[in-house]
Amino acid sequence: MKLLIWNCRGADNKVFKRTMKELVQTHKPSILVLMETKVELSSLGQFFNKMRFTASSHVDSVGRSGGIWVLWDPFRATVKPLEVNAQFIHAKVQRDNFEDWILSAIYASLNRRNRDLLWANLEAIADNMTSPWLVAGDFNDIASLSEKRSFSTNISQARTQKFNARMNRCNLMDLGCSGPHLSWSNGRQGMANTLERLDRAACNSEWRLAFTEGAVRNLPRTYSDHSPMVVYT
């Protein structure tokens, strides 16, 4: 199974639709996770139906900001939502002849206090988690100094330490990635350019044992400032 996970920075435009079709045709994902969609899913229902994707789990945007969608090919998998809020969709993934597992699709807020609420929720989930668990998306945080390249701003070691402590409290291990290591760019040129690894997938030991060949590949950025990410189980 493949999951295509992408902070697409707006889904209601021709470039998104063309890019989405190309990504689906090339990588053939069973599950799509889209963030920062900026529109309601209902406006694109027909577009996704033509590609055989359905959805019952989504957080629509507020005005022109936010939004998380989880869509899936019903011939390959079933996704059942368990908990939904503005920063994550927590769902059970089911597939014939395979063990059920849990997906938490993350779109972490830029606001520090809101991110604290996200991690409090994830820690509460982790305390009772016995199933294989994958947590993936845009965390809006970095785990080490090597995950940021910038000429104009300082890198906060306290920020990376806090992020790693949270991952540890949730018993999550980073799956790493191939392809472009730094998944987000501010789009500026020269000395003003900043790159960070804001997008990642992490899992608990049960997911790692269930999917021993699980891996992540970051794809080149297109019109969005974030790279699409493919998770292979």
Listed in sequence order, the residues at least 6 apart from 156 whose beta carbon sits closer than 8 Å to its beta carbon are: none
Per-residue pLDDT tens digits for 172-209 = 999 999 999 999 998 788 878 889 999 999 999 999 99
CA distance 48 to 28: 13
For the chain, the domains span 2-232
What does the pLDDT read at residue 89?
94
Q: Considering the chain, what is the average pLDDT of its residues?
A: 92
Bigger pLDDT: 209 vs 39: 209
Instruction: Tell me the sheet residues that pair with 68.
Output: 35, 59
CA distance 214 to 232: 5
Q: What percent of the chain has pLDDT over 70?
A: 94
Mean pLDDT value across residues 42-71: 79
The H-assigned helical ranges of the chain are 14-27, 45-50, 112-127, 157-169, 205-210
Residue 126 is encoded by which pair of tokens? Answer: 């982790």
For 108-232, where are the E strands, in sequence order?
Answer: 133-138, 148-150, 173-174, 184-185, 194-196, 199-203, 215-218, 229-232
**Is the separation of the CB atoms in 54 and 40 below 8 Å?**
no
What does the pLDDT read at residue 12?
85
CATH fit for domain 2-232, picks 2.40.10.10, 1.20.140.10, 3.30.420.40, 3.60.10.10 = 3.60.10.10
**Is the separation of the CB atoms in 137 and 5 below 8 Å?**
yes
Per-residue pLDDT tens digits for 88-140 = 999 999 998 889 999 999 999 999 999 999 999 999 999 999 999 999 999 99
pLDDT bin (cut points 50, 70, 90) of residue 60 is low
CA distance 226 to 222: 8
CA distance 92 to 116: 24
CA distance 92 to 100: 7
Residue 213 is encoded by which pair of tokens? Answer: 């060949």
Per-residue pLDDT tens digits for 145-178 = 899 988 766 667 888 999 999 999 999 999 999 9
Is a pLDDT exceeding 60 seen at residue 62? no
